[in-house]
Amino acid sequence: MEGPGHRERFLMEKPVYLDYHATTPLDPRVLEAMLPFFGRRFGNAASRSHRYGWEAEKAVEQARRQVAELAGATAREIVFTSGATESDNLALKGAMEAYRSRGNHIVTMATEHKAVLDTVRRLERMGARATVLPPEPDGLLDLGRLRGAIQPDTVLVSVMYANNEIGVIQPVCEIGAICREKGVLFHSDAAQALGKVAVDAAACQADLMSFSAHKMCGPKGVGALYVRRHPPVRLAPQIDGGGHEWGMRSGTLNVPAIVGFGEACALCAAEMAAEAARVGGLRDRLKARLEAELPGVYVNGSMTRRLPGNLNMSFRGVDGEALLLSLPDVALSTGSACTSATVEPSFVLAALGVGRDLAHSTLRFGLGRFTTEEEVEYAARRVIESVRKLRVLAPV
Give the helix/strand (H/E) hosting 284: helix 255-293
Whole-number average pLDDT of the chain: 94
Is the pLDDT confidence value at 255 over 90? Answer: yes
Return the bridge partners of 185, or none: 156
pLDDT digits (tens, 9 = 90+) for 133-183: 999 999 999 999 999 999 999 999 999 999 999 999 999 999 999 999 999
Q: Mean pLDDT lowest for which of 79-93, 94-108, 324-338?
A: 324-338
**Per-residue confidence (pLDDT) for residue 99, from 0 to 100:** 98
**Per-residue confidence (pLDDT) for residue 1, from 0 to 100:** 41
- Cα separation, 290 vs 190, in Å, equals 29
- Cα separation, 172 vs 90, in Å, equals 20
Catalytic (active site) residue 173: no
Is the pLDDT confidence value at 8 over 80? Answer: no
Residues of the chain with CATH 3.90.1150.10: 16-27+272-393
Nearest to 263 by CA among 274, 253, 271, 251: 271
Amino acid at 51: R
Is the pLDDT confidence value at 338 over 60? Answer: no
pLDDT digits (tens, 9 = 90+) for 228-248: 999 999 999 999 998 999 999
Class of domain 28-266: alpha beta
Name the active-site residue from 173, 179, 265, 338: 338
| Residue 6 pLDDT class (50, 70, 90 cuts) | low
pLDDT digits (tens, 9 = 90+) for 273-303: 999 999 999 999 999 999 999 999 999 999 9
Mean pLDDT of 254-258: 98
- Cα separation, 168 vs 307, in Å, equals 7
CATH homologous superfamily, domain 16-27+272-393: Aspartate Aminotransferase, domain 1 (3.90.1150.10)
pLDDT digits (tens, 9 = 90+) for 178-224: 999 999 999 999 999 999 999 999 999 999 999 999 999 999 999 99
Is the pLDDT confidence value at 7 over 80? Answer: no
Residues of the chain with CATH 3.40.640.10: 28-266
- Cα separation, 160 vs 176, in Å, equals 12
Q: Say if CB 280 and CB 308 are below 8 A apart.
A: yes
Task: Give the β-pairing of 310-315 and 297-299.
Answer: antiparallel
pLDDT digits (tens, 9 = 90+) for 112-134: 999 999 999 999 999 999 999 99
pLDDT digits (tens, 9 = 90+) for 36-80: 999 999 999 999 999 999 999 999 999 999 999 999 999 999 999
| Residue 14 pLDDT class (50, 70, 90 cuts) | confident
Cα-Cα-Cα-Cα dihedral sign, residues 210, 360, 321, 326 = negative
Amino acid at 231: P
Asked whether the whole model's pTM tops 0.75, one would answer yes
Residue 366: HSE in the Cβ half-sphere, 13 Å Cα cutoff: 26
